[in-house]
Amino acid sequence: MPDIKIFDTSLRDGEQSPGFSMTHNQKLRVARALADLKVDIIEAGFPAASPGDFAAVQAVAREIEGPTIAALCRTVPRDIEKAGEALLPAKNRRIHTFIATSPIHRRDKLGMDKAEVLKNAVAGVELARSFCDDVEFSAEDGIRTERDYLAEVLAAVIEAGATTVNIPDTVGYSTPQEMTELFRWLSETVPGIGGVTISTHCHNDLGLAVANSLAAVEGGARQIECTLNGVGERAGNCALEEVVMALRTRSDRYACRTNIDTRKLHMASHLLAAVTGNFVPRNKAIVGENAFAHESGIHQHGMLASRETYEIMKPEDVGVLSSQLILGKHSGKHAVIDRARAMGYELAAGEIDGIMAQFKELADAKKRVYDADLEAIITGNQAGGELGPWSLQWLSVVSRVSGEEEPTASLTLAHEDGTTATQTGEGDGPVDAIVKALEAITGMDIEVTNLAMRSISLGEDAQGESTMRARVDGTEYSGHGLSTDIVAACAEALLEIINRASRNNARIEESEPRSHVA
């Protein structure tokens, strides 16, 4: 039974999509979760894109053990040198270099003919091999590349020393049958391809990323490039949790296996959601709240008779607990740590006190603390880090259903420099009023583009969770807030957004435009 390597690019392809940016510490949190999942390769970033990306890749290379750490680069000497330097601390490292091969990219983006692209591809792989033995080459927009030319490029880079060749569906254009046929043809046609790993990287523009990745496996691919929750450019990438569970659940068809510890899928998915400030949709396959829920009477009757009537996977296999242990204000540290461990979270010594403080505060505010409440506290705590410089000290909101006066929000922010500021804002709703007050304090232009709210657990005292996207001075950011008061949760989400914007503005650095392979 062949092994399928799982190449996770959440920190690179996923992070570069609008509203999904992560701080340095947050990237390390996600990288640790990916290592716990036992992914084979973590693509940590694009070191040549900016000093911040370089530092993040270097930190992941230095601190994360287990998976191979990869860095992306164009077939440009400066890019490759930066990638090699950033990866030096890694025990197992891979340089992932790429150039576009399709006619439209050659003509409109690169301004190169076939011979020039081929020359750059070979030179890039040869230079990358001088930094490490593990080199991946990607033919960007390979799916729309002429077959014979694609085969010629792949043969040349294999001869130059590439150990993995990736054929990406950069714009999500292909269909499963086409994928199987192409990968089978390449496996049978390209000289030397039997001695390297063939990889697939699919985007989800037509909703076919997972299906196309599985089809590539049927055609001979032995590495799947994917992301947690399917995050990524435009409509996203192949979702790691979906493709892994498809291979596991339908091993009768695919006859292959991965090294993934599937019991950590739910935890990793929800950590990424908290870090990036984006909900996991309730109906999301594998990790959504409704993935193992049954409300229909017919379904419930079948489940009571035999769970296999309507469940093809066990919730426990993906890290969803079948029971809910209810904690309360008298629960101690050990009970909380033990429950967190049962849910798949190993709490670091340095974060336990902070989590316990939030737990006790929540337990005082509501009667019962459910698993979902505890998970929200843990992921919210782990999603934090270097967000500063602002913190919310006080908030008062007055909302009016009718009347001449508009809703108002008064709040006090503390800055890390020791100063505080208080402002009152008026708006057409409480959230808009909070925005106006924050704009008055920070001087930022904040335009909310998306707001979602939900109840975390059960009961009238349930925690509320808010995720929000907003443009701050023209750049889009996301934020996440958690409170038993849903308006306060919205304020926390907005605060995270202005902190992301503040940090970003403070470290604006000269950088080349981000090029990527998708």
pLDDT for the residue numbered 106:
97
Is residue 48 within 8 Å of residue 83, measured between CB atoms? Answer: yes
Of 276, 294, 312, the position where a domain reaches its end is 276
Residue 26 host element (H or E): helix 24-37
Sheet strand arrangement including 390-398: 390-398, 408-415, 420-426
Give the pLDDT band (50/70/90) at residue 485. confident
Residues 91 and 31 in one domain: yes
- The answer on 222 and 337 residing in a single domain is no
Q: Let me know whether 261 and 354 are in one domain.
A: no
Closest C-alpha among 164, 178, 174 to residue 43: 164
What are the φ and ψ backbone dihedral angles of 154, each rounded to 5 degrees?
-65, -40
Residues 265 and 125 occupy one common structural domain: yes
Q: Give the tens place of pLDDT for each residue, 263-289.
A: 999 989 988 987 876 778 878 999 887
For residue 281, tell me if it sits in a domain: no
Confidence (pLDDT) at 323:
55
Residues 265 and 228 in one domain: yes
Residue ranges in 367-485 assigned as alpha helix (H): 371-383, 430-442
Return the pLDDT at 302.
45
Binding site as annotated, residues: 13, 201, 203, 237
Residue list for the binding site for Mn(2+): 13, 201, 203, 237
Helix (H, G, I), strand (E, B) or coil at 229: helix
353/440 same-domain check: no
pLDDT tens for 16-53 read 776 677 878 889 989 999 999 999 999 999 999 999 89
Q: What's the confidence (pLDDT) of residue 299?
A: 40
Question: Does the pLDDT at position 503 exceed 90?
Answer: no
Q: How far apart are CA 140 and CA 170, in angstroms?
A: 7
The DSSP secondary structure of 196-212, one letter per residue, reads: SEEEEEEB-TTS-HHHH
Reported as type and span, the H/E element at residue 7 is strand 5-8
3-class DSSP state for residue 313? coil
Is the same domain home to 171 and 131? Answer: yes
CA–CA distances in Å: residue 354 to residues 274, 339, 369, 491: 17, 16, 17, 20
* The two structure tokens encoding residue 421: 């500021």
Q: How many domains does the chain have?
A: 3
- Identify whether 316 is part of a domain: no
What CATH number corresponds to the domain at position 437?
3.30.160.270
Domain identity same for 405 and 470: yes
From 144, 138, 143, 139, select the one nearest 103 (Cα to Cα): 144
Is the N-terminal amide bond of 389 cis, ω within 30° of 0? yes
Torsion of CA 106, 112, 116, 121, to 10 degrees: -40
Last residue of a domain, one of 276, 311, 337: 276
Q: What is the CATH number of the domain that holds 117?
A: 3.20.20.70
Same domain membership, residue 96 and residue 220: yes
**Of the ranges 170-179, 356-365, 370-379, which is most confident?**
170-179
User: Do 377 and 459 reside in the same domain of the chain?
Assistant: no
Count CA atoms closer than 13 A to 435's CA, side-chain side: 18
Q: Where are the alpha helices (DSSP H) in 233-348?
A: 240-249, 251-254, 265-276, 297-305, 333-342
Bridging pattern class, strands 464-472 and 475-483: antiparallel
Q: Would you place residue 513 in the very low, low, confident or very high pLDDT band (cuts 50, 70, 90)? A: very low
Q: Are residues 464 and 375 in the same domain?
A: no
How far apart CA 6 and CA 304 sit, in angstroms, is 36
Residues 203-253 pLDDT 10s: 999 999 999 999 999 999 999 999 999 999 999 999 999 999 999 999 999
The answer on 454 and 343 residing in a single domain is no
Query: What is the C-alpha separation between 401 and 405, in angstroms, rounded?
Result: 10
How crowded is residue 190: how many other Cβ atoms within 10 Å of its Cβ? 20
Token pair for 313: 């996977």
Domain boundaries, position 327: 323-383
Q: How confident is the model at residue 477 (pLDDT cuts 50, 70, 90)?
A: confident
The pLDDT of residue 383 is 58
Last residue of a domain, one of 213, 247, 276: 276
- Six-digit token string for 366: 């509501």
